[in-house]
Amino acid sequence: MWDSPPSEKHKGISCGKNERPSITGWPHECVTDTFPRTLCVAQLSSGVMGLFLLTLVLQSVLAVLARAPVRVLGIEGQPVFLKANVPPGFHVRDTIWRFLTPVEELVAVSFKGTPQILYQSRFYGRSRLHTNFTLEICPAALGDSGIFSALLVNTTGEMEKQIFHLEVYGTIPRRMWLVKFMQWAMGKASA
């Protein structure tokens, strides 16, 4: 039953015992309540409703932007650091690092502050989990390029998932640089 008095917009609409006027504003449209209501949405002014909807949309957009993948660049043979961003007031209890491409592999975990790297993934022997939840891969290889995820779990069981896109680039040996430079310089001198 509609517990609140109808707004100006709904005056004159007569509904049955367990029905109330619809908030869509269509004339003579009634809907059945399936649960008790404590707030009649139809009574909110259009400005407040618009502000409420805008707030919901902005929160959704910000949540998606906050979870956008972090791009990390690395050089073959050098260490690469994937740093998890811990939100303010989020007290991390557990951390789970996974490599997602081409097949999902468990890289490192930390349960109650104790890091464990016991998994026979391609990163075994080359990965290290720091106390600030940063995953280090040393030395980085070209095959390490791909998508990583960090799942942070706090003391109340809430989870924060972060995605990292690692791109590892190869190096050109110094001797090859010198040869290419000499060829270029000789070509310029003869022209």
- Averaged pLDDT for residues 11-33: 51
Domain end, chosen from 24, 45, 66, is at 66
CATH code, domain carrying 127? 2.60.40.10
Q: What is the pLDDT of residue 42?
A: 41
**Are 29 and 109 within one domain?**
no
Q: What percent of the chain clears pLDDT 90, i.e. is strictly above it?
A: 40
Whether residue 4 has pLDDT greater than 60: no
**Are 124 and 136 within one domain?**
yes
Structure tokens that stand for 173 in this block:
């040996």
**Are 16 and 53 within one domain?**
yes
Q: What is the pLDDT of residue 20?
A: 56
Answer with the residue of higher pLDDT: 188 or 42.
188
Phi, psi (rounded to 5 degrees) for 20: -145, 160
Q: Which of helix, strand or coil describes residue 167?
A: strand
Domain residues for the domain of 99 are: 70-169
Q: What is the pLDDT of residue 34?
A: 43
- Averaged pLDDT for residues 124-129: 92
Read off the pLDDT of residues 37-86 as tens digits, 9 standing for 90 and up.
333 344 444 555 555 555 554 554 444 444 689 999 999 999 999 999 99
- Averaged pLDDT for residues 119-126: 85
| Domains contained in the chain, number | 2
CB 163 within 8 A of CB 147: yes
∠ CA(61), CA(67), CA(70), 5° rounding? Answer: 130
**Are 53 and 97 within one domain?**
no
Q: What is the pLDDT of residue 31?
A: 47
CB 115 within 8 A of CB 69: no
